[in-house]
Amino acid sequence: MLPMLAKWVVAGGAIVLTACAPLLSPLTVEELRSKAAGKVEFTVEKNYKQAFQTVLARTKACYLGAPTTAQLAVSDSRNYDLKTGNVTIKLLYDATGEEVYLTVDVIGVGEGASKVTAYYERAASKAEANVVQTWLVDGSVECAKRAV
């Protein structure tokens, strides 16, 4: 009887993990860009370095150390020579890994302008993507209400 119960517990656990797997997608920045729930795209009259540093500073201020159901991490990559950069917010889970749910690409266009694209994974995170534009266009320091 006990071995049969153990089989049912293992089978039930496998079903639960399989059912939850789609909820954690996308797991990478590339997957988020290709499968985003939406994106906010705009051009701002700031050079690449100013735009990138503003996005990075505001993202860190709004997300690091913030209370949530999972630990948040902010990562960035940049190439000043190519005038490209990315800031990504990930949810880190103990048992299931990480989930990228917001990523912002900054690309310099000319000497005094930048194209910014914020991709979001959940429809509820649209406000978080929209606030990126207010940081750069309006000079706002407000943080969006998080969907997580």
CA distance 145 to 148: 9
Residue 70: per-residue pLDDT: 65
Report pTM.
Answer: 0.79
The residue behind tokens 């700031």 is 46
CA distances 131 to 9, 27, 110, 126, Å, are 45, 23, 24, 9
pLDDT at residue 76 is higher than 50: yes
Taking the CA atoms of residue 116, residue 132, residue 134 and residue 69 in that order, the dihedral angle to the nearest 10 degrees is 170
Judge residue 5's burial from the number of C-beta atoms within 10 Å of its C-beta, 0-12 exposed, 13-18 middle, 19 or more buried.
exposed
Structure tokens at 22: 């789609």
Average pLDDT rounded to a whole number, residues 95-109: 88
Q: Is the pLDDT of residue 38 over 90?
A: yes
Task: Please tell me whether the peptide bond between 67 and the residue prior to it is cis, using omega within 30 degrees of 0.
Answer: no
- What band does 28 get if pLDDT is binned at 50, 70 and 90? confident
CA distance 135 to 11: 49
At residue 21, the pLDDT reads: 44
Average pLDDT, the chain: 83
